[in-house]
Amino acid sequence: MTHPTTAFTTKAEGYLRELSNEIFISPGEITLGSGQKPNPIKAKAVWDTGATNTCINTRIAKTLNLIPVSKTRISSVNSEEIVNVYIVDIYLPNKVVIQNVQVSEPSALNSCDILIGMDIIRLGDFSITNADGKTWFSFRMPPAKKHIDYISDANIENKLLEKKIKSSKQ
């Protein structure tokens, strides 16, 4: 089955120290009874390529009245703990929806509502650019059928620069 391509770009003035945007999150449809509609809430998401899995904070779990489906052991820089696992639907900008995501609830997730990990990032293409003093990051699903490779762009730019330097010396 082929899925339509969905994508978003988050644009920020200045260079960002953290990649974040506003998303919506709801209990996963498989955890709701039949006929029930999810009621998404707004949340601050931080994108973290160093995180293996997506996590939510306790406040979001309580607000959504999530019921744990299991427990798992997670490790962070400073600790290891056994935490609750929930099933949620995540609504990224521009109608990029990821359903039935298993998320864990670490005790120390304070800087954001949801930490988007590699379990979601690997589902598509993720790119960060820093041009003209602005940071943009983009995500698309499904991934493109080709790889992004900055080497060919760099080679072309360097050849143009060499020609410019050569012509200015003449």
Domains and CATH numbers, the chain: 6-169 (2.40.70.10)
Mean pLDDT of 107-134: 93
On the question of pLDDT at 34 being above 80, the answer is no
The whole-angstrom separation of Cα 142 and Cα 3 is: 7
- How many other β-carbons are positioned within 10 Å of the β-carbon of residue 112? 19
pLDDT of 33: 61
DSSP assignment, residue 143?
P
| Alpha helices per DSSP H over 5-95 | 58-63
The whole-angstrom separation of Cα 82 and Cα 78 is: 14
On the question of pLDDT at 140 being above 90, the answer is yes
The whole-angstrom separation of Cα 69 and Cα 104 is: 10
pTM listed for this prediction: 0.84
